[in-house]
Amino acid sequence: MFEQIYEWIRSIAVCLVVMTAVLHAVPGKDYVKYIRFFTGLVLIILMFTPLLKLSGMEQRFRTIWADEEYRMNRKEIEDAAGRYEKLESEILFPEEVVGGENGSGDAPSSGNESEAQEGKIEVEEIVIGE
């Protein structure tokens, strides 16, 4: 019991020391009111943590936080997978993305369909220095 009270008082003292150090480290006075507001909110939360622990609300907040974090991570992974699939299709099938050389969505047709199906590419002769 006394260890919990000691830990609570210690966390408040550390918060106050950090708050004071940050306020003295800010070069201008423009942001002091915002820093005081934010650190005041943190201090209020620290003051109410024993009440949250006693009422069991702390576990609810942790569960809500973990659920929200899981949803955000899942959405990021799904978005990255979608971008990867789109990029992969653009790399593997670029003629479908830009409409192909002949204006249709089909692959460009060469004189020999079997060569096009096998993935062979016909290259013209390139002469440099004429």
- pLDDT tens-place string over residues 17-74: 998 888 888 887 888 888 889 888 988 888 888 887 778 787 888 889 899 999 999 9
Most confident of 14-23, 105-114, 115-124: 14-23
Global pTM value: 0.44
What does the angle CA 123 – CA 128 – CA 130 come to, to the nearest 5 degrees?
125
> What mean pLDDT is predicted for residues 83-99?
74
Residue of 48 and 76 predicted with greater confidence: 76
Helix (H), strand (E) at residue 2: helix 2-25
Task: Supply φ then ψ for residue 66, to 5 degrees.
Answer: -65, -40
User: Is the separation of the CB atoms in 110 and 102 below 8 Å?
Assistant: no
Integer Cα distance of 41 and 47 in angstroms: 10
Integer Cα distance of 10 and 32 in angstroms: 24
Per-residue confidence at 87, pLDDT binned at 50, 70, 90?
confident
| pLDDT at position 4 over 90 | no
